[in-house]
Amino acid sequence: MTHHDNRRQVLYWRLLARLFDHEEQATLESSSLAVVEDIGLPPTLLDPQVSVDSVVQRHPELAAEFDGLMTPDPGAERDNEAEVRRAALVSKVLLNVFASGSGSVSAEQLARWQADAGRLERALGHEAGDLRAGRGSSPGLDLGSLEADLVKRMHLREVLADPTLAARLTPSMSLIEQLLRDKDNLSGVALANAKNLIRRYVDEVAEVLRTQVEKATVGALDRSIPPKRVFRNLDLDRTIWKNLTNWSPEEERLYVDRLYYRHTTRRTTPQRLIVVVDQSGSMVDSMVNCTILASIFAGLPKVDVHLIAYDTRALDLTPWVRDPFETLLRTNLGGGNDGPVAMAMARPKITEPRNTVMVWISDFYEFDRSQPLFEGIEAVHRSGVRFIPVGSVTSSGRQEVNPWFRERFKALGTPVVSGHITKLVRELKTLLT
């Protein structure tokens, strides 16, 4: 083992000792300090109380090294000294993210952790926020759960009551979940700050989903069908260009022999999209994502969107479907679930089965109501409605679906769609274009 290998191991042993075993901590700290100073890195790199952003602010030359830090070029030649340096930087990022301690968490601590988590995501080659939102794939890194734990350890009501502290919060799914659960207990400044955070998160997620939906729902031009000869389809520029040979300089007049019209996109968009979302305790992420998705589809031409949320009761949120912020404020997260109650509200909305898509988002864990719910779903499907069962649309992509329902949906020819929101967008693409 070379001298460089020994130094690299010291740094990683220190990292492991910090996380799991403190007995050898003192010796490893002094050894790691010697290594860091020897390779010309700042000693603050070893202080877990100092954020990565603070280190970069003091030492701007390190900024480029942190980005893509954990995605080295496999074709590059091995440089032992560079690997020791990389070990020190990797240890800093991992320790700041995974050694989150215990006890209460302040708004400042949460903001610092979120910034460090963003550094880790970029070190792994992702955009900041991707892994916490489930848009990336890095096995073994459950940053979303870590963030959720930190949020639960906050005195959130006290933070929200202080505008300065509330301003330090960065919206995330974990934070939004807590805000939606606690919104009825908030008032005044705290409620206003909570609403502001919810709206910021909704706007951020909507921007991402809107781009995906717009790409997914653009129909192809069907040039086998002549364009409709109506004024709104008149291609004025092309008409002028094609008739320029008919220009009369003496009269200063253009004589038009032929009018040209634009081809319009022919869509097979269904007249009605019914989204039914389970809002019981295990489905918060689904409620948020699908409420935003429904609002985006509601803004598209020729799509009549209806939104129903349910637990033991069903709630028709269609009047507010275009505003996901207002919709979420009217939800009541938690409790059990009763699918047949939601089906009883949804079925009267089906007026033209073959022009209707029904998306049902749930883990399908019913309390002694499985058979009645499945019979209702089966009847809807056989009537001609395009039925899409979706298992817990989460930002992380994880899902858990009742095996009893999973097998029956498969036999019905409507297998459960994977739990990531982007999978649902792709599935709808095949039906809406």
Section 180-202 average pLDDT: 88
- pLDDT for the residue numbered 213: 67
First to last CA, the chain: 61
Across residues 317-339, what is the average pLDDT?
84
- Judged against a pLDDT cut of 90, whether residue 378 lies above it is answered with yes
Residue 297: predicted pLDDT = 79
Q: Which residues pair with 304 in a beta bridge?
A: 272
Q: Coil, helix or strand for 431?
A: helix
Query: Which residues, including other chains, have CB under 8 Å from residue 10's CB and lie 6 or more apart?
Result: 28, 31, 32, 35
Task: Give the range among 117-131, 218-232, 298-312 with minimum mean pLDDT.
Answer: 218-232
**CA nearest to 199, candidates 171, 158, 159, 164:** 171
Contact status, residue 288 vs residue 331, Cβ threshold 8 Å: no
More confident residue, 97 or 226: 97
The pLDDT of residue 376 is above 80: yes
CB 354 within 8 A of CB 384: yes
* Cβ atoms of residues 358 and 388 within 8 Å: yes
Q: Which residues contact 100 (CB under 8 A, 6 or more apart)?
A: 113, 146, 149, 150
pLDDT tens digits, 211-220 = 766 665 544 4
- Predicted confidence at residue 387, as pLDDT, reads 93
Q: Is the pLDDT of residue 321 over 60?
A: yes
Under DSSP, the state recorded for 253 is E
The pLDDT of residue 70 is above 90? no
pLDDT in tens, 16-53: 777 666 666 667 788 888 888 888 899 888 888 888 99
According to the model, what pLDDT value does residue 224 have?
A: 44
pLDDT category at 196 given cuts 50, 70, 90 is very high
pTM: 0.61
DSSP β-ladder status, 356-361 and 272-278: parallel
CA angle 275/135/359 to nearest 5° reads 10
Would you state the pLDDT for residue 72? Answer: 67
Name the pLDDT band for 381 (thresholds 50, 70, 90): very high
Return the higher-pLDDT residue of 109 and 395. 109
For the record, the structure tokens of 309 come out as 């949320």
**pLDDT at 409 exceeding the cut of 50:** yes
Token readout for 28 is 């490893």
Q: What are phi and psi of 357, to 5 degrees?
A: -115, 130
Q: In percent, how much of the chain has pLDDT > 90?
A: 16
The pLDDT mean for the chain works out to: 80
pLDDT, position 231: 56
Q: Is the pLDDT of residue 268 over 70?
A: no
- Dist. CA 116–CA 108, nearest whole Å: 12
Highest mean pLDDT among 34-48, 75-89, 288-302: 34-48
Tokens of 193: 């700050």
- Domains of the chain and any CATH numbers: 153-215 (no CATH), 220-266 (no CATH), 272-432 (3.40.50.410)
Confidence of residue 380 (pLDDT cuts 50, 70, 90): very high
Model confidence at 180: pLDDT above 50: yes
Contacts for 354 with CB less than 8 Å, ≥ 6 apart:
384, 385
Q: pLDDT: is 22 or 340 the higher one?
A: 340
Give the three-state DSSP class for 154: strand
CA of residue 173 relative to chain centroid, distance: 8
How far is the C-alpha of 110 from the C-alpha of 120, rounded, in Å?
A: 15
Residue 188: predicted pLDDT: 92
Cβ-based neighbour number of residue 283 at 10 Å: 24
Q: Compute, in degrees rounded to 10, the torsion defined by CA atoms 392, 397, 399, 405.
A: 60
At residue 408, the pLDDT reads 92
148-166 per-residue burial string, b: 16 or more CB within 10 A, e: under 16: bebbebbebeebbbeeebb
Residue for token digits 């009883």?
A: 344
Res 132 pLDDT > 50: yes
Q: Are 297 and 273 in contact (CB under 8 A)?
A: yes
What is the C-alpha to C-alpha distance for residues 77 and 87, in angstroms, rounded to an integer? 17
DSSP one-letter string for 275-314: EEEE-SGGGHHHHHHHHHHHHHHHTSTT-EEEEEEESSSE
Q: Give kind and range of the element (H or E) at residue 273.
A: strand 272-278
Quote the DSSP letter at residue 357: E
The pLDDT assigned to 190 comes to 92
pLDDT of amino acid 211: 74
| Nearest Cα to Cα of residue 314 among 276, 285, 351 | 276
